Amino acid sequence: MRELSLNILDIAQNSISAQAKNITILVRASGGELTITIEDDGKGMSEEFLSKVMDPFTTTRTTRKVGMGLPLFKEAAESSGGSMKITSELGVGTVVTASFQIDHIDRMPLGDLAGTMTILIMAKPEIDFVLEYAVEDRSYKFDTKEIKSILDGVPIESSEIITYLEGLINDNITQVNGGAVI
């Protein structure tokens, strides 16, 4: 993985596989620390599965017995002076949180977060996605529920809408960044 947005995309794909109806992605840069949270209301994990979920040889995939998504995200966090934790409850959902030291030399850039959001929307348009993006005291909230209510039945995954949404998210992220690149 070359940017944290790809980790976010990857972890959120697990939420989609877990039949989540709502997936919330929180990105907050404050006081020198970057925190990324991916929260879903999917089927959750049993304590037993949760205890071995960081093992690369634990996976839900069917083609291979290797699952690298969470270990890679953890590695990305720990190599930049941060940490990752995961909590989950069967039938309730899963929360993955990772923290990073923003100015650590080995921290990957956040990258194309807008592209990650639109790819997730195209993967499962019926899921409601929320992105909350905050830098210090400035913040932006993107919510597909709000978009869908404006669209009034026009499919959110249509290419015209996706192009527009990517621009919308990018513009707002740039504004929240206030000149910084995270």
Taking the CA atoms of residue 32, residue 175, residue 121 and residue 69 in that order, the dihedral angle to the nearest 10 degrees is -20
Give CA–CA dist 131/140, Å, rounded: 8
- Region of 84 please: left (phi>0), alpha (psi -120 to 50) or beta: beta
- Region of 14 please: left (phi>0), alpha (psi -120 to 50) or beta: alpha
Residue from 17, 30, 51, 139 that binds another protein (CB under 8 A)? 17
- Kindly report the backbone phi and psi dihedral angles of residue 110, in degrees, each rounded to the nearest multiple of 5, phi listed first: -65, -40
Candidates 33-41, 46-54, 74-82, 113-121: pick the segment binding another protein (CB under 8 A).
Answer: 113-121
Query: 68-107: which residues touch another protein (CB under 8 A)?
Result: 68-69, 72
- Which is nearer to another protein, 33 or 143 (by Cβ)? 143
- Which is nearer to another protein, 102 or 112 (by Cβ)? 112
Tokens for 30? 């404050």
The contact mask relative to another protein for 128-147 (x = CB under 8 A, - = no) is ------------------xx
- Which is nearer to another protein, 21 or 61 (by Cβ)? 61
How many helices, marked H, and strands, marked E, lie in the chain? 6, 6
Give residues in contact with another protein (CB under 8 A): 1, 6, 9-10, 13, 17, 61-64, 67-69, 72, 112, 115-116, 119, 122-123, 146-147, 150-155, 157-164, 167-168, 171-172, 175
